[in-house]
Amino acid sequence: MTVIDASPGTRRLTTAKAISEGIAQEMRTNSEVFVMGEDVGPYGGIFGSTTGLFDEFGATRILDTPISETGFIGAGIGAAVEGMRPVVELMFVDFFGVCMDQIYNHMAKIHYESGGNVKVPMVLMMATGGGYSDGAQHSQCLWATFAHMPGLKVVAPSNPHDAKGLMISAIRDDNPVIFMFHKGVMGLPWMAKNPRSIGPVPEEEYTVPIGKAAIAHEGTDVTVVSVSLSVQHCLDVAEKLAGDISVEVVDLRTIAPLDRDTVLASVAKTGRLVIVDEDYKSFGMSGEIAATIAEVDPMLLRAPIKRVAYPDIPIPYARVLEYEALPTRDKIEAAIRDLVS
């Protein structure tokens, strides 16, 4: 169990800036690191993940690509197996469909198929999530889709501090890492945001370990496990309920490999579990966590598990429809109250 460092410095960055700073620092010390993707050059990434990199490193290390995801993600794999450390951006996770063979059958499996002889030290970063009416093809989370495939590590930070530390860990990792940034945590100037999307980030390089969850808010009555933007909602609810209900918020930070120990330890303490997930409910992260409790020790629970997850529907456009489906603060609070009452 790790508790987020309480003194991470006073300088405040958006998550987008924290990510690009992490990439820049690794690029300065390691000439094998380079970036490619659509609009990652002068534009700085549609969601700001590569802001400023083109100015510093130029077109030879920050490569704008054609709209050819199979081509350039495959090229990232090829460069990685030759020992480089590419950071490749897939603009929205939803576009995975046009390049999934490279991801599922190559990036994920080469190390295993080669009996450990070939490594794929590559980062594939991508935007996830909805809440701003971008419709069924531009609003999904889909972390479980990637976490389902053995051989892929999947991280999804909820705040700027973790985003930078996880990016540096991902670049240094010898495995392919899917780095998922929810648009809602990036601190974008053109999207409504939670103040938690801008926060203290140390200037120096540091790592946040892949595969380690964080206790983002300590509590004793109920454990709420979540990841990415939903963690911000959970923290808002935990703070609101403080004094009434003591909520422990577990920020998974990594989906695969899942930090089951931290979840189990928290549930052992509280005896109650709410899982909050913006990804589809069935066959996903929330089910995996529930199964972990059921497999290890269902007697930890004083009440049945509750899930606040995206219902099994494609993401609708109209705001009233989308918010009917999203895991909002109201739904999280209601689930907690229901469980504790």
Ligand X SMILES: Cc1ncc(C[n+]2csc(CCOP(=O)(O)OP(=O)(O)O)c2C)c(N)n1
Which of 124, 62, 49 minimizes the C-alpha distance to 93? Answer: 124
Query: Within 82-101, which residues bind another protein (CB under 8 A)?
Result: 94-95, 97-98
Closest approach of Cβ 136 to ligand X, in Å? 13
Of these partners, another protein, ligand X, none, which one is at the site of residue 105 (CB under 5 to 8 Å by kind)?
none
Q: Does 328 bind another protein (CB under 8 A)?
A: no
Of these partners, ligand X, another protein, none, which one is at the site of residue 150 (CB under 5 to 8 Å by kind)?
none
- Helices in 1-151 by DSSP H: which ranges? 15-29, 53-57, 69-81, 100, 110-113, 143-147
Among 22, 41, 176, 284, binds another protein (CB under 8 A): 41
Q: Which stretch binds another protein (CB under 8 A): 78-86, 268-276, 286-294, 305-313?
A: 305-313
Instruction: Provide the 3-class DSSP secondary structure of residue 173.
Output: coil
Active site residue 148: no
163 alpha carbon, distance to own chain's centre: 8
91/178 with CB nearer ligand X: 91
198 alpha carbon, distance to own chain's centre: 16
Closest approach of Cβ 56 to another protein, in Å? 17
Q: Percentage helix, strand, coil, to 5, in the chain?
A: 40, 20, 40
Q: Does 314 bind another protein (CB under 8 A)?
A: yes
Q: Rounded to whole angstroms, how far apart are CA atoms 132 and 137?
A: 13
Q: Which residues contact 295 (CB under 8 A, 6 or more apart)?
A: none
Which of 201, 170, 174 minimizes the C-alpha distance to 88? Answer: 170
* Cis, peptide link before residue 195, omega less than 30° from 0: no
128/159 with CB nearer ligand X: 128
Tokens of 103: 């991801």
Query: Within 96-125, which residues bind another protein (CB under 8 A)?
Result: 97-98
9 alpha carbon, distance to own chain's centre: 23
Q: Does 134 bind ligand X (CB under 6 A)?
A: no
CA distances from 71 to 37, 54, 290 (A): 11, 21, 38
Among 95, 132, 206, 323, binds ligand X (CB under 6 A): 95
Q: Does 89 bind ligand X (CB under 6 A)?
A: no
Q: Does 98 bind ligand X (CB under 6 A)?
A: yes
Catalytic residue among 106, 111, 138, 148: 138
Q: Does 63 bind ligand X (CB under 6 A)?
A: no
Among 2, 30, 105, 137, binds another protein (CB under 8 A): 137
3/192 with CB nearer another protein: 192
95/104 with CB nearer ligand X: 95
Tell which phi-psi region holds residue 196, choosing left (phi > 0), alpha (psi between -120 and 50) or beta: alpha
Q: Rounded to whole angstroms, how far apart are CA atoms 111 and 158?
A: 29
12, β-bridge pairs: 200
Query: Active-site positions?
Result: 138
Residues that bind another protein in the complex, under the rule CB under 8 A: 38-39, 41-43, 46, 64-71, 94-95, 97-98, 131-138, 189-192, 311-314, 316-325
Name the site residues for ligand X (rule: CB under 6 A): 38, 67, 69, 91, 95, 98
